[in-house]
């Protein structure tokens, strides 16, 4: 395709489109479960934002994807081993360790995989760096990747940039992502916005639901 015809907001082809939810796990989304931030109560910005905006918007994206034949991929931070010996050096230094036996490491029921959806554990910020997701997406025939989740300035950022570098048309759903503060969220979107089409949930849901690209 001639470069002048290419566009980051190219219409989706449903059979070549996937929704990727990044780190939408109970341990990060439910107050009191994150061992690194026990001081954060329900009134902290992050929990207020995720409960009132991020989670409902991800529910809307999931519903639109599932009802329109769009592949759904979930990635979560989770070690392969109970003692975390397989973790990346960065996760050992941080430290971050969620063993596979910890139920808080899974997505909440309203955001979890259903009907044979793919769940990919990772032990890095960038899902493309520590998993076979690129291989899986290519096997599924995916070219258009819609990304949402947390944190905007960390794992979402990495997913967007790495997907763009690997040749995907990337959409980041700005109001279906969240960071520890509004400032960090906004700064991240400005920083990686050149690697993707930034769109809100309503726009993406309408595009998926009307199958405008079919």
The pLDDT tens digits for 27-83 are: 999 999 988 888 888 999 999 999 999 999 999 999 999 999 999 999 999 999 999
Q: What pLDDT is attached to residue 164?
A: 98
Q: What pLDDT is attached to residue 37?
A: 83
Contact (Cβ atoms closer than 8 angstroms) between residue 103 and residue 135: no
**Which residue's structure tokens are 């990727």?**
20
Cβ neighbourhood burial of 116 (10 Å; 0-12, 13-18, 19+): exposed
In this prediction, the residues of the chain whose per-residue pLDDT falls under 50 are 4, 212-214
Question: Distance between CA 135 and CA 145 in Å, rounded?
Answer: 14
Angle at 50 between CA 184 and CA 157, to 5 degrees: 40
Question: Distance between CA 214 and CA 211 in Å, rounded?
Answer: 5
Q: What pLDDT is attached to residue 35?
A: 85
Strand order in the sheet with 197-199: 118-122, 71-77, 17-22, 144-150, 169-178, 197-199
Question: Distance between CA 104 and CA 30 in Å, rounded?
Answer: 9
**Which residue's structure tokens are 């070219």?**
143
Q: What pLDDT is attached to residue 180?
A: 95
Q: What pLDDT is attached to residue 36?
A: 82
Q: What pLDDT is attached to residue 212?
A: 45
Q: Kindly report the number of other CB atoms within 10 A of residue 2's CB atom.
A: 5
pTM: 0.94
Token readout for 67 is 């009802």
Q: What pLDDT is attached to residue 38?
A: 82
Q: What pLDDT is attached to residue 39?
A: 81
Question: Distance between CA 103 and CA 121 in Å, rounded?
Answer: 14
**Which residue's structure tokens are 């992502």?**
177
Question: Distance between CA 35 and CA 197 in Å, rounded?
Answer: 34
Q: What pLDDT is attached to residue 5?
A: 63
**Which residue's structure tokens are 């809307």?**
60
Q: What pLDDT is attached to residue 40?
A: 85
């Amino acid at each position: 395709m001639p470069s002048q015809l290419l566009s980051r907001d190219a219409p989706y082809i449903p059979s070549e489109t996937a929704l990727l939810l990044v780190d939408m796990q109970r341990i990060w989304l439910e107050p009191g479960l994150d061992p690194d931030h026990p001081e954060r109560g329900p009134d902290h910005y992050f929990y207020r934002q995720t409960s009132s905006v991020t989670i409902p918007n991800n529910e809307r994206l999931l519903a639109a994807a599932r009802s329109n034949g769009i592949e759904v991929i979930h990635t979560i931070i989770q070690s392969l081993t109970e003692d975390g010996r397989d973790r990346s050096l960065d996760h050992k230094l941080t430290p971050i360790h969620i063993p596979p036996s910890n139920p808080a490491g899974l997505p909440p029921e309203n955001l979890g995989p259903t009907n044979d959806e793919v769940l990919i554990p990772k032990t890095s910020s960038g899902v493309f760096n520590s998993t076979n997701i690129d291989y899986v997406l290519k096997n599924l025939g995916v070219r258009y990747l819609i990304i949402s989740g947390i944190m905007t300035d960390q794992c979402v950022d990495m997913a967007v940039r790495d997907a763009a570098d690997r040749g995907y048309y990337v959409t980041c759903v700005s109001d279906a992502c969240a960071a520890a503060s509004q400032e960090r969220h906004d700064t991240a979107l400005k920083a990686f916005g050149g690697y993707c089409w930034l769109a809100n949930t309503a726009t993406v849901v309408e595009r998926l639901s009307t199958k405008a690209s079919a």
